[in-house]
Structure 1
Amino acid sequence: PEESDIELTSFHRYPLHAQQPRIVPGGGLQRLVTSKEFPISSTMSGSIIELQPGALREMHWHPNADEWQYYISGQAQMSV
């Protein structure tokens, strides 16, 4: 991911929707924040993914971390 040019106005809040999304393969947009962009969050990353109807997210895994999924609108299936 490209380095963020977002200026933090607070060390405790990150304006994720101010970030330019990147296009994800399979049909969607992603905004991602890690400790690189938001240093106070040293043990957790966050991401908002907007998938188009019928789109698939790439298969991936986290060998040393959990993944939480929240759905804000629409319907989806997740395999574990």
Structure 2
Amino acid sequence: MSIMVLFFSFAADRMNARQKLYDLDGTMTVKEFFEKFLVKPLGDPFDAWLFSVNQEWVDGDALLHDGDEVAVVPPVSGG
């Protein structure tokens, strides 16, 4: 199964890409995907990021399916 992952803000800088296609061996959650593919290049723990799947905000327990679009968004703060 394949998913497209979109990276926003400094996540794109850390990944050296705005988007990447990932081939997964089977079903996994967003958190399992993060821990397998993203934790090292992004350099921050799972809880430091926001995720959406197919343009809906999700938590780490959301299951990924073939063709899903996952967005990885760093938290934003402002004043």
TM-score, structure 1 as length reference: 0.27
Query: What is the TM-score of this pair, normalised by structure 2?
Result: 0.27
Between the two structures, name the one with larger relative contact order (CA 8 Å, sep ≥ 6): 2
Larger of the two Rg values belongs to structure? 1
Greater fraction of residues in helix: 2
